[in-house]
Structure 1
């Protein structure tokens, strides 16, 4: 997308690990409509770095569902699985600056840390067990963690803030060091030998590489935004405007997830629902 600046460019970035549901439909339609209303562009990205759970048949169904909704995207679909080597190579400057360290803590904890955050699940703040290990000691299976305190030292003169336009958190937000160290800690960025990188790292690189000006996503991801902004500054990447929208919930007020197959778009389509009916169901 380089050399082709636009005023408004956003993306819908599902993980092909299951069917799209009403919450996905709301997010995709909202992003698409905001882009078109602004005379901008709407991109489609597959966040498929979890090679164990992502499936080509789910990706095909996502494309089919979005097309059925009447959404059209600009340019080819970007797949993060094609870029994993690039993500890992781009971590090398941070290692040379002493901002990363290898971690050999449990595989389950590390895999959980690499996933996208979920509503109501805070960052698990790492106690620093492996902090201080030299990069030369990294072995197969070790993760790479960001030394967050060292990152803040490196960014001492940076203006760590972002602009939010979503209804729940609208306004400018400044990232506070003490709060980040207490609530976020030393996050995992990648794991050696498994070809997997953190959701928020890959997303930061892709947003910059695709020229994303506005990130539109659910409010369950708002608390993860400071990590992404810190990474953007460490890598010299631009910070987009963020818009965290309301979530579509079930009758009990619980956020819809891929396990909610009863609300899968595929099911509504089979029952004769129209795209206009889906828009009405999600309040658009």
Structure 2
């Protein structure tokens, strides 16, 4: 499934671990408007790789909420749980090029290192026995890219994160591998998401290079935070979007993204707000910030 090089394809990829909240809406809306304003396709992907963290019905609830917000997607929804063979194939390819190794280091050990893995298992004389994660061997060099919102970003992966996990010890595929494989398969040309994933981008670029994939263009919007400065998330008990308040959420999201919607649009139906926002989208208005606090009613 590939796209012509001159065609624009974006995507929104929520994890169905709960209902959408205002932070999720910001990423969805910004991606949607950026793609639609350029006549592209906007795809929807469910990152449902961790069943233990996914309440029954959460994925369907996300779809209904997006429909209420008039954020319509193209084609069928892609469920990562149905793509496991593709991730295994990519992992096998990397292993065949001697770019992976097993690791049985605990998360506690990595946390004690400050979150940057020291590549301990890469140079071990004997391979670990028992359950092991699979890590990618990273080159000791800078990885840089031009973010369409935040500007130039550079990271030395060996020193910034260390060799990272492709498959977890419990056998589940890691986010970094799955997202790269799916972006390539769906022909994604543009990725717009939250600033909290900015430092993941060099890892994904390293994987794209290792697998011979095309590199999408990237853009990262500020993350919405609560009164404690915490990212709006299910972990921090962000309030789920209420389906009967779609117009309010959309207007406030447009304000957060500094798109300058007219005041009379506040009470307009979602479809009308979206119809205004598409031709008026200006990515240059999005603040070049990591975080922005939001009203407590959204957090």
TM-score range relative to shorter protein: 0.7 to 0.9
Matched residue of 1:220: which SS?
helix
Matched residue of 1:31: which SS?
helix
What does the per-residue CA deviation read over 1:56-104, in whole Å, with 9 as the maximum and x for residues that have no partner?
4110111111111111100111111111232122112222222211111
- Structure 1 counterpart of 2:14: 14
Matched residue of 1:15: which SS?
coil
Task: Report which structure shows greater RCO (CA 8 Å, sep ≥6).
Answer: 1
1:127 to 105, 118, 143: 118
- Structure 1 counterpart of 2:286: none
- Structure 2 counterpart of 1:196: 172
Q: Does 1:51 align with 2:27?
A: no
In 2, are the aligned partners of 1:141 and 1:191 still within 8 Å (CA)? Answer: no
Residues 104, 251 of structure 1: alpha-carbon distance in 2 compared, 3 angstrom cutoff: closer
Residues 92, 123 of structure 1: alpha-carbon distance in 2 compared, 3 angstrom cutoff: farther
In 1, are the aligned partners of 2:3 and 2:187 still within 8 Å (CA)? Answer: no
Distance 2:49 2:118 in 1: 26
Distance 1:41 1:3 in 2: 10
Unaligned stretches of 5+ in structure 1? 114-121
1:281 to 239, 252, 256: 252
- Structure 2 counterpart of 1:163: 146
In 2, are the aligned partners of 1:45 and 1:78 still within 8 Å (CA)? Answer: yes
Q: How far apart are residue 160 of structure 1 and its match?
A: 4.9
Distance 2:108 2:52 in 1: 16
What does the per-residue CA deviation read over 1:200-254, in whole Å, with 9 as the maximum and x for residues that have no partner?
1110111111111110100011011110001000000011110100122223432
Distance 2:189 2:217 in 1: 6
Q: Does 1:253 align with 2:244?
A: no
Distance 1:63 1:104 in 2: 38
Q: Counterparts of 1:127-276 in structure 2 under 5 Å?
A: 127-133=118-124, 137=127, 139-149=129-139, 160-166=143-149, 169-171=150-152, 173-174=153-154, 179-191=156-168, 194-259=170-235, 261=237, 263-265=239-241, 268-269=242-243, 272-273=244-245, 275-276=246-247
Distance 1:137 1:183 in 2: 25
- Structure 1 counterpart of 2:68: 68
Matched residue of 1:87: which SS?
helix
After TM superposition, the structure 1 stretch with the greater mean CA deviation from structure 2, 13-22 or 180-189, is: 180-189
Q: Counterparts of 1:90-129 in structure 2 under 5 Å?
A: 90-106=90-106, 108=107, 124-129=115-120
Matched residue of 2:26: which SS?
helix
Q: May I ask how many residue pairs the two structures share in their alignment?
A: 254
Matched residue of 2:122: which SS?
coil
Q: How far apart are residue 109 of structure 1 and its match?
A: 5.1
Distance 2:147 2:57 in 1: 35
TM-score (norm 2): 0.76
Matched residue of 1:101: which SS?
strand
What does the per-residue CA deviation read over 1:136-190, in whole Å, with 9 as the maximum and x for residues that have no partner?
94655211111223xx5xxx8xx95433112xx224x455xxx321111111110
Task: Write out the 4+ residue segments of structure 1 that deviate beyond 3 Å after TM superposition.
Answer: 3-6, 136-140, 259-262
Q: Does 1:36 align with 2:17?
A: no
